[in-house]
């Protein structure tokens, strides 16, 4: 019986072994996926022993899947992975990526490497004050995101629009794995959604650069080539992020099991609550505590290791 098969390693070199692996992944047993930029064999073996793994499948040089593990050892596995600097994720069943319908992402410090508003402020010597408010908001210490954004944007009054161009060209970079994650999601048929408490100046460029299906952000008011210190229209706060995701889910008929949502700050939590695959990426503690999964050391395309990309 498939449910009683125990293996020490799964080879993907033959059609027969692929067939056997598909059966294993379709069997309702608990799987544990370990990831790190530098996986150490001895550390994998220790986690496998703690979890009483029935087999190991290599997913590449930075990830492995432990098969038929003891889910009751979750706390011990978590402690061990924290010690070894590994990301982990438990799954009762490995879902096909193509069965998902939406990949939703935050932008600042998630899709990209910076908080854009902090870097704009840095151009005029105001980063320390603005960044302090940003950090407090992302940690959840300031519960009214709209109020915190209004305060920060007010400090940008008089900043030339050219400073935004400078931030984009000189400081903004995609986080590791971002392009690969988006490319595979698009290839597999998922709709890609960028929802940001940042600014449309940057979300529109990210949408064009990555070919995203939709992108939303806040509109900075500009007069005579300078920021007025105001935001136009509805502020994209936590509720707005959730609303944009829910609207797309309703349009596509997507349930929570078909949504991947990735974020790092407290204002992402409402959006992430709509997704079974809620991912805290390099996130604040309040987000890691409430997310279903976390990537603390792995790149964004580590998400792909949680899914079957074929069959």
User: Which residues are known to be catalytic?
Assistant: 106, 108
Please list, in sequence order, all residues whose beta carbon lies within 8 angstroms of the beta carbon of residue 183, skipping any fewer than 6 positions away: none
Q: φ and ψ at 270, to 5 degrees?
A: -65, -40
- State the pairing for strand pair 214-223/259-263: unpaired
Distance from C-alpha of 199 to C-alpha of 219, rounded to nearest angstrom: 6
Helix, strand or coil, per DSSP, at residue 38: coil
Asked if 303 and 262 count as a contact pair (C-beta separation under 8 A), the reply is yes
How many angstroms from the chain centroid is the CA of residue 70?
Answer: 26
Distance from C-alpha of 266 to C-alpha of 194, rounded to nearest angstrom: 16
Rounded to 10 degrees, the C-alpha dihedral 79/80/83/84 comes to: -150
Q: Which helix (H) or strand (E) holds 214?
A: strand 214-223
Asked if 278 and 261 count as a contact pair (C-beta separation under 8 A), the reply is yes
Closest CA to 86 of 290, 298, 262: 298
Buried b / exposed e over 167-197, threshold 16 CB at 10 Å, is bbeebbebbebbeebbebbbebebbbbbbbb
Q: How many CB atoms lie within 10 A of CB 136?
A: 13
């Amino acid at each position: 019986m498939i449910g009683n098969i125990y293996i020490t390693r799964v080879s993907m070199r033959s059609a027969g072994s692929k067939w056997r692996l598909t059966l294993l992944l379709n069997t309702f047993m608990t799987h544990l996926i370990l990831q790190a930029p530098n996986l150490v064999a001895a550390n994998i073996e220790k986690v496998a022993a703690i979890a009483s793994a029935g087999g190991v499948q290599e997913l590449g040089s930075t990830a492995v899947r432990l098969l038929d593990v003891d889910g009751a050892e979750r706390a011990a596995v978590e402690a061990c992975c924290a010690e070894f600097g590994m990301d982990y994720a438990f799954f009762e069943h490995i879902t096909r990526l193509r069965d998902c319908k939406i990949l939703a992402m935050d932008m600042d410090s998630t899709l990209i490497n910076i908080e854009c508003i902090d870097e704009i402020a840095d151009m005029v010597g105001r980063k320390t004050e603005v960044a302090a408010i940003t950090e407090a908001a992302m940690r959840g210490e300031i519960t009214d995101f709209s109020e915190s954004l209004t305060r920060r944007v007010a400090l940008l009054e008089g900043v030339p629009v050219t400073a935004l161009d400078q931030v984009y060209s000189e400081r903004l970079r995609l986080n590791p794995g971002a392009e690969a994650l988006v490319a595979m999601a698009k290839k597999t048929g998922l709709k890609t959604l960028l929802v940001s408490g940042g600014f449309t100046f940057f979300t529109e460029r990210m949408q064009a650069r990555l070919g995203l299906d939709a992108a939303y952000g806040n509109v900075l008011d500009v007069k005579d080539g300078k920021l007025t210190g105001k935001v136009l229209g509805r502020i994209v706060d936590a509720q707005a992020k959730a609303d944009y995701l829910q609207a797309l889910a309703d349009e596509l008929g997507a349930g929570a099991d078909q949504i991947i949502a990735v974020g790092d700050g407290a204002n992402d939590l409402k959006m992430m609550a709509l997704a079974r695959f809620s991912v805290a990426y390099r996130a604040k503690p309040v987000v890691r505590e409430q997310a279903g999964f976390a990537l603390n050391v792995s790149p964004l395309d580590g998400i792909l290791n949680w899914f079957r990309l074929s069959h």
